[in-house]
């Protein structure tokens, strides 16, 4: 595995001074491996993603642990190895690009090319300009460029010295959607061409899902889950991760009633009724949480509801539409359930919603498939 | 030497040393944390707050034949440093250094840290980063510091009078000459010297604006 990270770091207030008896104000502990692929560090602001990335870059020092890239040890607290950022073969992109404002694009890109002849430098710069598609901007200064162009220059500058790994700290957050989508695609293409691992920070779930081969989910300085985007998004391991990846229907205080024949399912008492959930290894009387994604809730019209066989009447819920929000591409309906008064968020495509001819104040039935549920 | 040339000589030499040492001190103060940093800050700011005659008196103690620095100078050259143009230059240096340090520290501290970090990640040592990135980006502040220091050195009176006296042709700078002319009732000379000083100040301001525009 080219990338191996296992580090700890503690912060003590503003001055970062460790005093006896004082508890750390923030503590980060993360451990993950990556192959030559795209790793996304995902989580809310302040969850420790940037700290981890800066430690890998050498901009900050972990208190303990190891960082290994392609068999080179960048940091090892026990062997007292700590390569300065200058000696680490990394490329880094900042959120605000951090281009050198007093140098033009060419000078920015060639800044990391120490020790090359001027012809070799020129050749490499031209190669990079071509790679990101900004040949015509060669002599422009950063203040003459748009946000997307600046990030392209920053990418070219980071890749010019042939790094072994590329680290990106929310590089597209400050850009508009159209440019962001374009740059995501280009970055993926470049990564496949160069074959180097990329570690990418974002707090945007869509960006994380579309770009990642592997996701590392952070919360409060700890890794909550590690896996493919599908694993993380459809099978979150904790309530925190579920909320982060879009399970906007999460219900705590469900009580386990029992299990189905052959442990094929678990019965919960929640929302004022019996809910059939996927099997979870808990005893009757235990409290659990469960959730379902808004787009996975099935709308059932009243005619079909009567036709449903008794044995299929699992998780059939009755409610009144409290509110409908049009998100442009879909509708989010707030459904207040009759039995419990709990509110369910249901996402419906505009096409289906318009054909159903329902609106605020109408009654509505929904069904939740056990396979779409997650239980903690 | 005429008061004008003497003033320009003293102010220029003082400003050259102030710039070199000032940038170094400013970089350390802006970038480093160390025990006793607050003390260094106080010492550098002190000549800015102290009345010039107080600064002058302290310098006399240091530069006199029995003083720490004066003693060494006398051993090397055989004569005292007090009442020479070099002493005037030292006085100008001491009073104008804080202006340079304060302005440059602020300018260096304002350089975007991410930009400096980018330079480090691209393989440049701290020295190279300072030389190619930090200082060029702090240029406006550093130049402002130079100009303020030069102006301060030109106008230095109190400390200069104490360490160098007002010896005609040797240590009689423009400000001292103006005072001398005024005391002697030589209004023509005083007016002339004042006009020349105002002209120098205006040129300095104009030069600063031009440099600031670039």
Minimal CA separation from B19 to chain A, in Å: 22
What's the pLDDT tens digit per position in A67-89? 998 888 999 989 999 999 999 99
Rounded average pLDDT over B51-80:
84
B162 contacts B56 by C-beta, under 8 angstroms:
yes
Same domain, yes or no: A209 and A259:
no
Residue A107 belongs to some domain of the structure: no
User: Which among B57, B60, B27, B62 is positioned nearest to B44, based on CA atoms?
Assistant: B27
Q: How far is A108 from chain B (nearest CA, A)?
A: 10
User: Are residues A291 and A206 both part of a single domain?
Assistant: no
**Which residues, other chains included, contact B140 with Cβ-Cβ below 8 Å and sequence gap of 6+?**
B107, B212
Is A8 inside any structural domain?
yes
Looking at residue B134, what DSSP letter applies?
I
Residues of B in contact with A100 (CB under 8 A): 115, 118-119, 133
- Pick the last residue of a domain from A243, A269, A295: A243
Nearest CA distance, B53 vs chain A (angstrom): 40
What is the pLDDT, as a whole number, of residue B177?
A: 87
Q: For residues B193 and A14, give the distance between their C-alpha atoms in angstroms, rounded to a whole number.
A: 54
B3-213: which CATH architecture?
Orthogonal Bundle (1.10)
Residue among A94, A158, A161 whose CB faces B114 most closely: A94
- The mean of the pLDDT values for chain A is 89
Total structural domains in chain A? 2
Q: Are residues A84 and A195 in the same domain?
A: yes
Confidence of residue A48 (pLDDT cuts 50, 70, 90): confident
Report residue A47's pLDDT band, with 50, 70 and 90 as the boundaries: confident
Is residue A83 assigned to a domain? yes
Q: Does A99 touch chain B (CB under 8 A)?
A: yes
The answer to whether A86 contacts B117, with C-beta atoms less than 8 Å apart, is: no
A157 touches chain B (CB under 8 A): yes
Q: Is the pLDDT of residue A15 over 60?
A: no
Q: How many CB pairs under 8 A join A and B?
A: 54
Domain that holds residue A371: 247-375
**Closest to A96 (Cβ–Cβ): which among B114, B123, B125?**
B114
Residue A239 sits in the same domain as residue A252? no
Q: Between chains, do B123 and A58 touch, taking CB under 8 Å as contact? A: no
* Complex confidence, ipTM: 0.83
Which pLDDT tens digit goes with each residue over B186-207? 899 889 889 988 988 888 888 8
**Strands annotated E in A146-285:** 165-169, 198-202, 214-219, 222-227, 249-259, 265-270, 273-278
CA nearest neighbour of A38 among A225, A174, A195? A195
A203-221: average pLDDT: 91
pLDDT band at A35 (very low <50, low <70, confident <90, very high): confident
> What pTM does this model have?
0.84
> Domain check: are A235 and A260 in the same one?
no
Query: Does residue A76 sit in the same domain as residue A53?
Result: yes
pLDDT in tens, B82-107: 888 888 999 999 999 999 999 999 99
A30 in any annotated domain: yes
Q: What's the pLDDT score for residue A171? A: 93
Predicted local distance difference test score (pLDDT) of residue A208: 92
Shared domain for A297 and A344, answered yes or no, is yes
Q: What is the pLDDT of residue A311?
A: 67
Domain limit, last residue, from A215, A243, A271? A243
| Residue A138 pLDDT grade (very low, low, confident, very high; cuts 50, 70, 90) | very high
Paired strand residues for B162: none
Tell me whether residue A136 is in a domain: no
**Residue A308 clears pLDDT 60, i.e. is over it:** yes
Does the residue A106 lie in any domain?
Answer: no
**A81 lies in a domain?**
yes
Q: What is the pLDDT of residue B75?
A: 80
Q: What is the distance in angstroms between the Cα of A153 and the nearest Cα belonging to chain B?
A: 13
What pLDDT, on the 0 to 100 scale, is given for residue A16? 56
Q: Which among A227, A243, A259 is the end of a domain? A: A243
A208 and A277 housed in the same domain: no
Give yes or no: residues A198 and A267 share one domain.
no
Q: How far apart are CA B96 and CA B99, in angstroms?
A: 6
Mean pLDDT across A36-54? 89
Q: Which two tokens stand for residue A290?
A: 């469960």
* In a shared domain, residues A238 and A263: no
Q: Do A86 and B124 touch (CB under 8 A)?
A: yes
CB A171, CB A151: distance < 8 Å:
yes
Token pair in block for residue A39: 């790793």
Residues A25 and A167 placed together within one structural domain of the fold: yes
Chain B residues inside the 8 Å CB shell of A58: 121
Which member of A85, A94, A161 has the closest CB to residue B120?
Answer: A85
Q: What is the mean pLDDT of residues A93-108?
A: 93
CA of B122: which chain A residue's CA is closest?
A112
Higher local confidence (pLDDT), B32 or A16: B32
Put simply, the answer to whether B137 touches A102 (Cβ < 8 Å) is yes
Same domain, A358 and A234: no
Could you tell me the pLDDT band of residue A320, with boundaries at 50, 70 and 90? very high
Q: State pLDDT tens for residues B159-184.
A: 888 888 888 878 888 888 888 888 99
**Chain A residues in contact with B133 (beta carbon < 8 A):** 100
Q: The domain that contains A169 carries what CATH number?
A: 3.40.50.300
Contact B121 A102 (CB under 8 A): no
**Cβ distance of B123 and A94 shorter than 8 Å:** no
Q: What is the CATH number of the domain that holds A259?
A: 2.40.50.100
State the average pLDDT over residues A183-194: 89
CB-CB under 8 Å, A157 with B122: yes
Burial status of residue B116 (CB atoms within 10 A of its CB: 0-12, 13-18, 19 or more) = buried
* Domain contains A68: yes
Tokens describing residue A337: 């359930």
Categorize the per-residue pLDDT at A23 as very low, low, confident or very high, splitting at 50, 70 and 90: confident
Q: What are the tens digits of pLDDT across the range B30-62?
A: 998 888 889 998 999 999 899 988 999 999 888
Give the mean pLDDT of A334-352: 90
Q: Is 90 exceeded by the pLDDT of residue B14? A: yes
């Amino acid at each position: 595995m080219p990338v191996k990270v296992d580090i700890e770091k503690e912060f003590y207030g503003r001055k970062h001074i460790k005093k006896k008896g004082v508890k750390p104000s923030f503590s980060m502990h993360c451990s993950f491996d990556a192959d030559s692929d795209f790793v996304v560090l995902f989580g809310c602001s302040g969850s420790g993603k940037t700290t981890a990335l800066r430690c890998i870059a050498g901009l900050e020092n972990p208190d303990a642990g190891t960082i290994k890239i392609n068999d080179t040890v960048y940091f090892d607290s026990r062997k007292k190895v700590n390569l300065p950022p200058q000696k680490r073969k990394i490329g880094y992109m900042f959120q605000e690009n951090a281009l050198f404002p007093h140098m033009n694009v060419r000078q920015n890109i060639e800044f990391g090319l120490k020790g090359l002849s001027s012809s070799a430098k020129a050749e490499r710069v031209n190669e990079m300009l071509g790679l990101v598609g900004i040949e015509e901007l060669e002599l422009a200064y950063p203040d003459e460029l748009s946000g997307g162009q600046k990030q392209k220059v920053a990418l070219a500058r980071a890749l010019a010295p042939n790094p072994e790994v590329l680290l990106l700290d929310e590089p597209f957050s400050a850009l508009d959607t159209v440019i962001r989508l374009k740059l995501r695609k280009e970055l993926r293409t470049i990564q496949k061409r160069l074959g180097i691992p990329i570690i990418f920070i974002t707090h945007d779930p869509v960006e994380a899902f579309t770009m990642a081969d592997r996701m590392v989910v952070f919360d409060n300085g700890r890794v909550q889950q590690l896996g493919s985007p599908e694993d993380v998004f459809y099978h979150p391991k904790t309530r925190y991760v579920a909320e982060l990846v879009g399970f906007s229907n999460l219900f705590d205080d469900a009580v386990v009633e029992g299990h189905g024949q052959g442990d094929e399912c678990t019965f919960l008492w929640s929302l004022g009724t019996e809910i059939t959930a996927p099997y979870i290894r808990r005893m009757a009387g235990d409290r659990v949480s469960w959730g379902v994604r808004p787009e996975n809730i099935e709308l059932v019209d009243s005619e079909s509801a009567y036709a449903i066989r008794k044995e299929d009447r699992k998780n059939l819920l009755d409610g009144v539409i409290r509110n409908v929000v049009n998100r442009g591409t879909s509708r989010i309906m707030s459904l207040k359930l009759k039995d419990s008064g709990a509110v369910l968020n249901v996402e419906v495509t505009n096409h289906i919603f318009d054909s159903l001819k329902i609106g605020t104040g109408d009654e509505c039935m929904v069904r939740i498939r056990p396979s779409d549920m997650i239980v903690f | 030497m005429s008061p004008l040339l003497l003033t320009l000589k003293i102010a220029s030499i003082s400003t050259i040393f102030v710039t070199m040492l000032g940038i170094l001190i400013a970089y350390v103060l802006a970038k480093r944390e160390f025990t006793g940093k607050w003390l260094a800050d106080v010492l550098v700011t002190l000549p800015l707050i102290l009345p010039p005659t107080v600064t002058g008196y302290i310098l006399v103690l240091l530069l006199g034949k029995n003083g720490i620095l004066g003693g060494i100078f006398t051993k090397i050259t055989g004569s005292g440093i007090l009442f020479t143009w070099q002493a005037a230059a030292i006085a100008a240096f001491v009073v104008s250094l804080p202006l340079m340090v304060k302005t440059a520290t602020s300018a260096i501290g304002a350089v975007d840290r991410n930009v400096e970090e980018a330079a480090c990640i691209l393989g440049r040592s701290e020295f190279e980063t300072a030389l190619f990135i930090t200082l060029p980006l702090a240029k406006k502040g550093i130049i402002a510091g130079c100009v303020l220091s030069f102006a301060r050195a030109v106008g230095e009176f109190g400390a200069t009078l104490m360490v160098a006296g007002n010896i005609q042709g040797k240590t009689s700078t423009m400000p001292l000459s103006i005072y001398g002319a005024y005391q002697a009732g030589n209004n023509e000379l005083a007016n002339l010297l004042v006009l020349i000083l105002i002209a120098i100040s205006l040129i300095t301001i104009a030069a600063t604006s031009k440099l600031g525009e670039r």
